[in-house]
Structure 1
C-alpha cells in the first residue's frame, strides 16, 4: 500500500469495535496517488437495511464513494482499497473537490 494512505475519522481507535457492530463508517479518507477520496464504508447487512429504509418512503438511496466490505474493520477497509487500486478501479471513485 505504498502509494495509498488511509485516514480514519478522529478517535476511530476508541470506537472501532462499535463501528464493526454497526456495519457503517462514513468519513474514511483514502489518498491514492495524491488524490483524496472521502469514502463511506458499509457491510452488506447494514447497507441492505439502509437501502430498504430509504426506499420505504418512496425515496432513493444514493451514496458517493460507497465501498462495501464483508466487515467494517480497519483490515478489511485497507484490503478493499488495495484491491480497488490493484484492479484499476480507483478511477471509479470521485475525488474530493479542491
Structure 2
C-alpha cells in the first residue's frame, strides 16, 4: 500500500525521515563514543535499532560498504525476524 503526502510523493507517512547526530557526520571516527558496532548485518542493525531508543547513547556502525544501503538485501523473512518485528511492535504491518 502506498500513501501520498507532501504532494504526489509516494511514501509511507509512518516512516519518519532520518534525523539526529548520525546524519551528515564526518567520515573520521571520533576519539570517544558509547558503542561501536562492527558490521551492518542483521545483528548489528538490530543492536543499533534497539540503541536508537536511547538518544543519550552515541552509537556508530562501521562496515566495509562504501555508503548506506539504498534497498534491503533479504530475499525472505525468517521466523526469528518476525519475532524481532513483534518486539519492535510492527509485525502486523
Please indicate the TM-score interval, normalised by the length of the shorter structure: under 0.3
Structure with greater strand percent? 1
Structure with greater helix percent? 1
Give the TM-score normalised by structure 1: 0.26
Give the TM-score normalised by structure 2: 0.27
- Determine which structure has more spread, i.e. the larger CA radius of gyration: 2
